[in-house]
Structure 1
Amino acid sequence: MKPTIVMQSDFGINSGLVACMHGMCKLVDSELVTCDITHLLPAFDIEAASYCLQYTVPYWPAGTVFVSVVDPGVGTSRRASVAKLKNGSYVVTPDNGTLTYLNAMIGVEAIREIDEEKNRYQETKEVHTFHGRDLFAYCAAKLASGKITFEEVGKEYPTEEIVLHKIQTAEVREKYVKAVIQSYDPFGSAELSVLNSNFVKAGFKMGDKLHITIGTEDKKVFDGLIPYERSFGYVGKGEDVLFNDLASFVTIGSNQADFRQKYHMDPDVNYTVEICEA
């Protein structure tokens, strides 16, 4: 069976752009199966693309070919690449920071720059603003169909040259964590910069009520007790809960409510979160 091609982008779903990418794959090989992660990533948000991949890629079989296109530098000298991950999957993407979380959490085994003379759709070679279709989807389809091998993608370059953005980290010690809110999920829950696995190392246990403060240097937006539980159903409707999120990181949310809106938190503000025993 040929590998599935799985796509994400910031293209939106109110135009034919995504359909063009699916169609390009079918032009290369009509038997290919294509699926979507999302095409509603925030426009130009490379970090969001990187974050989304790290919790999606592990749940697809080895050999899956991922296409990620959040590409504000389209048509410029930024590298168009195919990365082979240490779990056996491939990511076809601009090398602009998109590989950051995958490099840290799975590892990039090798990376090659796409040879545009051989692995770009030549019928649109005068178009330089839709590499999602003409370069990334096309090359991904050739790779997934077996028309080219990874070695035939283009010239290999050192993994040390991969463009990486800074990953927020956390201070973790016995019964204490200091982290930041790195993003909010679609329900308004605050995703922290501490991995589920590292939070356990601090010695916290399910059922603990923890003292949590959230704020900036100038203002606290929350200072109180929140239980650490398995899921939302362990607290009452509208109540807050700390839990291990599916996206790898400890998260604070509210049962059937929007945590961010509840405490009037600005998504453009950097909030520090401190967690300790009650």
Structure 2
Amino acid sequence: MNAIAILSDLGIRDYFVAAMKGVILSINPNVTIVDITHEVPKQDIRTAAFTLANAAETFPRGTIFIAVVDPGVGTKRRCVLLQARNGMSFIGPDNGIFTLVAERFGVSRIYEITNKALMMPKISPTFHGRDLMAPVAAHLNLGLKPSSVGPEIKALKRLKMPTPKVTKTKIVGCVLNIDDFGNLVTNIGADLISRFTELDEFLQVSVGGKDFKAKFVGTFGDVKPGENLCYIGSTRSLEIARNMGNLAGTLRVRPGDKVTLRRCVKKWTKRSKKG
């Protein structure tokens, strides 16, 4: 039996996540439920898309994901089931939250969830995670045919994801995500930065209008506490941080802020010739 993994911006203070799990367990008491996170910033679809795609990479084939970051809940926006080519299934609002999983894992089929027989008898207009997504996920986990949830549709709503721009002297990208340590995850890929600079070189960094130098290194221990560094993170993208510090908090950086990298100019000292 496959797991059901849940991502949301619902937090853990209220009853919301527990209620979703209760619905799932009432239908399928033997299922394994995994919490990816419930601390996505409120209504932040872009961060949700980033977190979901990077978490899903490590799950086994057959996992069913529920994504509840849904500022349009109760409106005409659709709830969908995305079947990826890697054998995973994703349930959530059609608001762009599946942009990155669709790009990374490929799309096999997409269905709009309309079959009310699979939903809770009373559907709250403000809590589709509990009344619609959770029961559908539980039924799918028990072997329900995906086509039973509703009609097949051709396309998903996609977020416009920024791409870095490169010249001979600089790379211009943006902050995609800020982790809990205050490290900045950028949209600058490992291949791109590796062609631009070398390990142990210093870069002139501008983020959100703040300028500073950072050394391009392998890991945090390669610089002293309090020093800035750039490195290839676990998502194979360039990250910018302050060793033993919170760079985002100190500089008040936010997701979406512009990132500019320039090579530092080396100063050479002319040696006197021996006579």
After TM superposition, the score normalised by the length of structure 2 is 0.89
Contact 1:177 1:276 in 2 (8 A): no
Q: 1:269 to 1:57 in 2, by over 3 A?
A: closer
Letter in 2 for 1:155: P
Distance between the aligned counterparts of 2:95 and 2:241, measured in 1? 31
Partner of 2:229: 241
**Residue deviations 1:36-69 (CA, integer Å, cap 9, x gap):** 0111111111111111111101100011000000
Partner of 2:197: 204
Q: 1:60 to 1:51 in 2, by over 3 A?
A: same
**Residue deviations 1:201-246 (CA, integer Å, cap 9, x gap):** x2534x2313223045xxx41143x222221111111111111122
**Residue deviations 1:84-120 (CA, integer Å, cap 9, x gap):** 1121111101010101111222222221011232321
Unaligned runs of 5+ in 1: none
Identify which of 166, 179, 186 aligns with 1:185: 179
Contact 1:176 1:277 in 2 (8 A): no
Return structure 1 stretches of 4+ with deviation > 4 angstroms. Answer: 173-176
Contact 1:175 1:204 in 2 (8 A): no
Matches within 5 A, 1:29-178: 29-122=28-121, 124-125=122-123, 127-146=124-143, 148-159=144-155, 162-172=156-166, 176-178=170-172
Partner of 2:240: 252
Q: 1:33 to 1:256 in 2, by over 3 A?
A: same
- Structure 2 SS opposite 1:118: helix
| Superposition deviation, residue 137 in structure 1 | 0.8
**Residue deviations 1:162-221 (CA, integer Å, cap 9, x gap):** 111110111246685221223321111111111224333x2534x2313223045xxx41
Contact 2:175 2:256 in 1 (8 A): no
Letter in 2 for 1:90: S
Q: Please tell me whether residue 271 in structure 1 is matched to residue 258 in structure 2.
A: yes
Distance between the aligned counterparts of 2:114 and 2:249, measured in 1? 47
Q: 1:257 to 1:223 in 2, by over 3 A?
A: closer
After TM superposition, the score normalised by the length of structure 1 is 0.88
Distance between the aligned counterparts of 1:213 and 1:197, measured in 2? 18
Contact 2:47 2:176 in 1 (8 A): no
| Superposition deviation, residue 129 in structure 1 | 1.5
Letter in 1 for 2:137: A
Distance between the aligned counterparts of 1:114 and 1:169, measured in 2? 32
| Superposition deviation, residue 268 in structure 1 | 6.9
Kindly tell me the number of residue pairs found equivalent between the two proteins: 265
Q: 1:65 to 1:180 in 2, by over 3 A?
A: same
Distance between the aligned counterparts of 2:145 and 2:83, measured in 1? 11
Contact 2:80 2:112 in 1 (8 A): yes
Partner of 2:18: 19
The percentage of counterpart residues that share the same residue type is 28
Distance between the aligned counterparts of 1:141 and 1:257, measured in 2? 42
Q: Over the residues paired in the alignment, what is the CA RMSD in angstroms?
A: 2.0
Distance between the aligned counterparts of 1:257 and 1:29, measured in 2? 44
